[in-house]
Chains A and B, each alone.
Chain A
Amino acid sequence: MEFKLEAHRIVSISLGKIYSARGQRGGLKLHKNLLVSLVLRSARQVYLSEPGCPPEPPHAACGPPEEEPPPCTTVWAAGEPPPPPQDEAARGGPRLPGADCEGPRSRRCCCGCSCCCAAGGGEANPADCATAGAAAPPPPHCPRKRSAGERGQAGSPVKKPRREVEDPPPPPPGEQEDMDTGNVASLISIFGSSFSGLLSKEPKGRRRAPLDGSETAPAEAAAEPGQICCDEPVLRTLNPWSTAIVAF
């Protein structure tokens, strides 16, 4: 349990670092952000491998919510391969309506993630994901639901098929390690929803530039400092790698 707490803490510190890296003078430091993402991965693996959190299947790229405003899509095109279309089709209620882009980032992030987390989460741990996913809550409710911790199994049957649809074909076992260490689903994909919330506030042009060059999109997705969402569902959806790398 201690390890889980420490891992949790490390994850939140790491996300904070990625977030604050955006404003750094001189642009994003690739080396540092790479190291931070490595720590993030290690911590996440420990966190998820603790009893009660079985390792998840290979991560599926989390697509942006279908309600994503155009800037988000643009960002996607710039920085990431677009998510598989079935993601959007599969998503239902849990996705926040586009209007909620204005909402607090962390909430969006978590709610958005809950869908993705469905893709990544293990069966035995539907809890937060399930609830967040199945409940289709309006944004204000999200944080409460997320932070509540363990949830019932209610949503899991619903989640499962969605998960399966959302998953890209899982890599053969031999490539598992590659997915973990290599294929980076950037945090931007995870926090896609909240990222788009930020996007909606900023001019397109400016958003693009950082993606091209240096900025870490997920940094923004990580919400304002102090509102880092590091609950189970988020962790589930966190792929090892941050978009810091992808941004380049």
Chain B
Amino acid sequence: MSRGVAGGGGGGGSNDFQWCFSQVKGAIDEDVAEADIISTVEFNYSGDLLATGDKGGRVVIFQREQENKSRPHSRGEYNVYSTFQSHEPEFDYLKSLEIEEKINKIRWLPQQNAAHFLLSTNDKTIKLWKISERDKRAEGYNLKDEDGRLRDPFRITALRVPILKPMDLMVEASPRRIFANAHTYHINSISVNSDHETYLSADDLRINLWHLEITDRSFNIVDIKPANMEELTEVITAAEFHPHHCNVFVYSSSKGTIRLCDMRSSALCDRHSKFFEEPEDPSSRSFFSEIISSISDVKFSHSGRYMMTRDYLSVKVWDLNMENRPIETYQVHEYLRSKLCSLYENDCIFDKFECCWNGSDSAIMTGSYNNFFRMFDRNTRRDITLEASRESSKPRAILKPRKVCTGGKRKKDEISVDSLDFNKKILHTAWHPVENIIAVAATNNLYIFQDKIN
């Protein structure tokens, strides 16, 4: 299967690698409140923190507990570290529009001091949050007593130096910057630059470059809005900075193309440096060809040599040095190709699936329906389908591979395409940057799975 960097996975056959259930977060209730639906999942750079955002505008951060020496086989668990309301619903009075509070993306900043910083965004506004710990408080103030009430200055006869006393750990989240009013359209991506000073935000038609310290200005670096909106043919669907080259970023479009831009070449990066597009297979043309070719996510590999794109039915890995076609294509759920009309009807065809790399770039993961998610090992070319379900949620229970029956006789344990639950979709997944730990968002639940080395 997938070989992580940690553990003894190297060199052995793929059979010695299995995924096990670790934890599940969220209510078990069948009746899911819309606000609780998870809309983004992201590990921080070390993997010790895992952030989720939901449709209600809340951010929940989980922290990995230190490994327990008495139980060496079980890795540290993720427990709630901080919860805060990042965005509230707003109303744009000029346009008579409600602005949803749904968190579209969370991106962590690299850690530079004791505090943690992350960017969270809804459709219109990006916020920089500082998450800091407080485990001491000062006692023995002169001007106020222990309750906080001000003391009468005339009663103070002696001075004392306040001393720090330990207190129960308190994690505070405070908004440090609010980057607003820069996007006319809906923000779909944010990406922190490798210079750790700037970041980009992308909406349907424009990409802006920000400095983390400056909120009243941003630079527009891509603008694909046509002079006449009637001529609009494509929109920006995702954007990301290169992990190492601070002048390079890519953005994907609804037409299935990716453009790589170099900010050194010009201030406005409307002209790309590289243009990635795979020629369409004319034999598979249908009414919905354009929709299913729309790219929903683009992610650079950790190495920076490759990038991965997700469209409705497949995941493609591209070599940055080859623009005319991807080097690898993985079918996620090809059996849906014959169902596109129904999926169009029930809007599922517009679902935006994300994808992610493992730490060593040897494997990729993406979600599907029926709470299935898929992993592809790039070296062995093996793939596996797993399910995030409460049934297989016993501690350290090994996940059983799932299979969808595409036709003919359905074998035992297979599920037929028509039995798939299209309301149970896994759009957001995240892979720990170093270890084989994955976080999978299934509606309002967050599943955490770990590898088990036999």
A interface residues (Cβ-Cβ under 8 A, vs B): 6-7, 9-10, 13, 17, 25-27, 29-32, 34-35, 38-39, 42-43, 46, 181-186, 206, 209-210, 212-214, 241, 245-246, 248
Contact = CB atoms under 8 A, between A and B. Distances in A.
B230 A35 contact: no
Contacts of B287: 6-7, 10, 39, 42-43, 46
A39 B233 contact: no
Nearest to A241: B230
Given A31-B254, A214-B95, A246 B229 contact: yes
B92 A39 contact: no
B95 A30 contact: no
Smallest CB-CB A-B distances: 5 pairs: A213-B95, A184-B230, A26-B100, A209-B96, A27-B97
Contact of B230 (A25, A26, A31, A245): A245
Nearest to A207: B96
Interface stretch (B257-265, B288-296, B314-322): B288-296
A42 B289 CA distance: 10
Interface residues of B, number: 36
Contact of B235 (A27, A34, A212): A34
Nearest to B96: A209
Nearest to A45: B287
A31 B100 contact: no
Interface in B321-357: 341, 344-345, 347, 350
A9 B287 CA distance: 12
B231 interface: yes
Contacts, number: 100
Contacts of A17: 347
B231 A29 contact: no
Contacts of A184: 229-232
Contacts of B123: 26-27
Contacts of A34: 232-235, 254
Contacts of A46: 287
30 contacts: A6-B341, A10-B344, A13-B344, A13-B345, A25-B100, A26-B97, A26-B98, A26-B99, A26-B123, A27-B97, A27-B98, A27-B99, A31-B186, A31-B188, A31-B237, A31-B294, A34-B234, A34-B235, A35-B291, A35-B294, A39-B287, A39-B290, A39-B344, A43-B287, A184-B229, A206-B96, A209-B94, A213-B94, A214-B97, A241-B230
A116 B99 CA distance: 37
A184 to B, nearest CB: 3
Nearest to A248: B229
A50 to B, nearest CB: 14
Contacts of A42: 287, 290
A39 B96 contact: no
Given A34-B254, A213-B95, A39 B230 contact: no
B219 interface: no
A244 to B, nearest CB: 10
Contacts of A43: 287
A38 B233 CA distance: 9
A29 B123 CA distance: 10
Given A10-B344, A186-B230, A213-B92, A26 B186 contact: yes
A182 B231 contact: yes
Contacts of B294: 31, 35
Nearest to A46: B287
B204 interface: yes
Given A25-B100, A35-B291, A35-B294, A30 B204 contact: yes
Contacts of B422: none
Given A26-B186, A31-B188, 19 more contacts: A6-B287, A9-B341, A25-B100, A26-B99, A27-B98, A31-B186, A31-B254, A34-B235, A34-B254, A35-B291, A39-B288, A46-B287, A182-B230, A182-B231, A184-B231, A209-B97, A212-B95, A213-B92, A213-B96
A32 B294 CA distance: 10
Interface in B356-412: none
Given A34-B235, A245-B230, A213 B97 contact: yes
Nearest to B237: A31
Given A10-B344, A241-B230, A32 B97 contact: no
B437 to A, nearest CB: 32
Contacts of A38: 290-291
Contacts of A248: 184-185, 229
A46 B99 CA distance: 37
A245 B237 contact: no
Contacts of B100: 25-26
Given A35-B350, A39-B344, A245 B232 contact: yes
Contacts of A9: 341
A240 to B, nearest CB: 10
Interface in B48-92: 92
Nearest to B203: A30
Contacts of B290: 35, 38-39, 42
Contacts of A241: 230, 232
A190 B257 CA distance: 32
A141 to B, nearest CB: 32
A142 to B, nearest CB: 28
Contacts of A32: 350
B380 to A, nearest CB: 35
A62 to B, nearest CB: 14
A214 B99 CA distance: 11
Nearest to B95: A213
Contact of A181 (B98, B186, B233): B233
Contact of A30 (B99, B186, B291): B186
